[in-house]
């Protein structure tokens, strides 16, 4: 069964968002760890990647950051299951943006 155009747009936006979200997060983290022992100032690239990562994490990952630390610590203390569970907010966040792309596509199509 072929995907219709709406579904292809939603899946494509979700996949691209997920990849970009994790890439910026890992790149910003890597840059901050490289300067960890040197106490060097944060560079422009790291600042931009950190900001981009925060923007891409909106709304779900950002909202989870507002949860009490006790809940977040209990999830991170679950070992491998906690590691896998930790990616669920990123997947859901990307799905939200995929759905938003479908809604935008539908509203633009209705205008024509």
Percent of the chain with pLDDT over 70: 89
Q: What residues make up the domain containing 97?
A: 5-111
User: Model confidence over 45-54: pLDDT tens digits?
Assistant: 999 999 999 8
DSSP 59: T
User: Model confidence over 10-46: pLDDT tens digits?
Assistant: 999 999 999 999 999 999 999 999 888 888 888 999 9
User: How many whole angstroms separate alpha carbon 47 and alpha carbon 33?
Assistant: 13
pLDDT value of residue 79: 61
> pTM to 2 decimals?
0.78
pLDDT value of residue 11: 95
User: How many whole angstroms separate alpha carbon 90 and alpha carbon 19?
Assistant: 10
Total number of domains constituting the chain: 1
Instruction: Write down the mean pLDDT value for the chain.
Output: 86
Q: pLDDT category, 77, cuts 50, 70, 90?
A: low
Cα 28 → chain centroid: 13
């Amino acid at each position: 069964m072929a995907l219709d155009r709406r579904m292809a747009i939603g899946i494509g936006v979700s996949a691209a968002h997920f990849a970009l979200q994790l890439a910026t997060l890992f790149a910003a983290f890597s840059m901050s760890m490289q300067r960890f022992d040197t106490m060097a100032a944060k560079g422009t690239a790291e600042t931009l990647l950190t900001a981009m990562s925060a923007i891409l994490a909106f709304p779900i990952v950002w909202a989870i950051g507002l949860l009490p630390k006790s809940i977040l610590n209990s999830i991170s203390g679950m070992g491998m299951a906690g590691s896998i569970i930790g990616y669920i907010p990123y997947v859901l966040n990307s799905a939200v943006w995929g759905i938003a792309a479908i809604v935008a596509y539908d509203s633009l199509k209705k205008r024509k």
